[in-house]
Amino acid sequence: MQQQKSFEQRETGTLYLVPTPIGNLQDMTPRAIAVLADVDLIAAEDTRHTQQLLNHFDITTKQTSFHEHNWQAKIPGIVADLQQGKNIAQVSDAGMPSISDPGKELVAAAIAQGIAVVPIPGATAGVTALIASGLVPQPFYFYGFLQRKNSDQLAELERLATLRDTTIFYEAPHRLKQTLENIQKVMGADRQVVLARELTKKYEEFLRGTVAELVAWAKTHEIRGEFVVMIAGFTGEETAATDNDEAELTVQEAVAKLVAKGLKPNAAIKQVAKARQLDRQAVYADYHGID
């Protein structure tokens, strides 16, 4: 067991996790500004981006880069500085560190060495979008980013399809149309979805409707901005019909149905085998007609 009293006196430094604005600089809190000004070093995802923020608030604290491509090399030095008594703040480009951004490995390394880790409250896109979505706000399930590979994304959506919580994930503009089409393939045309783009910025926008309506919108509009995608939870209304329909399908038909949705045959075979508690090789042979 490890007990942390965040503000007691200690010889080691403190690792502060500081959120930055997701678009609107006025969302930077006084406490976040004070911490960034007072620490000995800022570990930033992109030092050039963070320098613009520091300049705006007249903060002169030194920075070091810390991102997904160099974290393994940088963590030992940062932890050593903390052990020597330096206070360090970690920031991502926007929002909370560690939430779909670098940070969790540094937090784990600091905790392993008994270093205090203190979170500073602030902006986070997922919850900001959720409370204005009109969907049930709790319970919710934050998923982050879906897989980029189409077959992997379809498999993820299959797993999320019967989740009863509102599901939240992030998506880039150039992938949004395909992702919405995949949601429609897996969850049907009538599931309620809300898109939030450019949160806290001048062109902040919410799009609310069925999956089919949002697919149609994506096909006829230029898609810009980073998106928060929120999917209404599964209501269970069609559970019995769905279970009965699936049970009546042969193994070949069940695999073929998933393939028609976009899964590759091997992925579909694996999913059917797991769902029906069958041997994977037996399902493979059945699907391919091998005696």
Q: Mean of the per-residue pLDDT values for the chain?
A: 91
Q: How far, in Å, CA of 43 to CA of 79, rounded?
A: 11
- Both tokens of residue 90? 């970690």
- Both tokens of residue 65? 């880069």
Q: Residue 183 above 90 pLDDT?
A: yes
pLDDT at site 242:
47
Whether this prediction's pTM lies above 0.75 is answered by: yes
With both helix axes pointing from N to C terminus, report the angle between 150-160 and 173-187 in degrees, rounded to the nearest 10: 50
The distance of Cα 146 from the centroid of its chain, to the nearest Å, equals: 8
252 — pLDDT class (breaks 50, 70, 90): confident
Cβ atoms of 124 and 19 within 8 Å: the answer is: yes
Task: Using alpha carbons, list the distances in angstroms from residue 157 to 70, 72, 142, 225.
Answer: 31, 31, 13, 23
255 — pLDDT class (breaks 50, 70, 90): confident
Q: How far, in Å, CA of 286 to CA of 22, rounded?
A: 51
Task: Using alpha carbons, list the distances in angstroms from residue 113 to 24, 25, 75, 98, 123.
Answer: 36, 34, 12, 19, 28
Mean pLDDT across the stretch 154-182? Answer: 95
Three-state DSSP state, 180: helix
With both helix axes pointing from N to C terminus, report the angle between 265-276 and 280-288 in degrees, rounded to the nearest 10: 130
**What phi, psi does 195 have (nearest 5°)?**
-110, 135
- Both tokens of residue 15? 């690792």
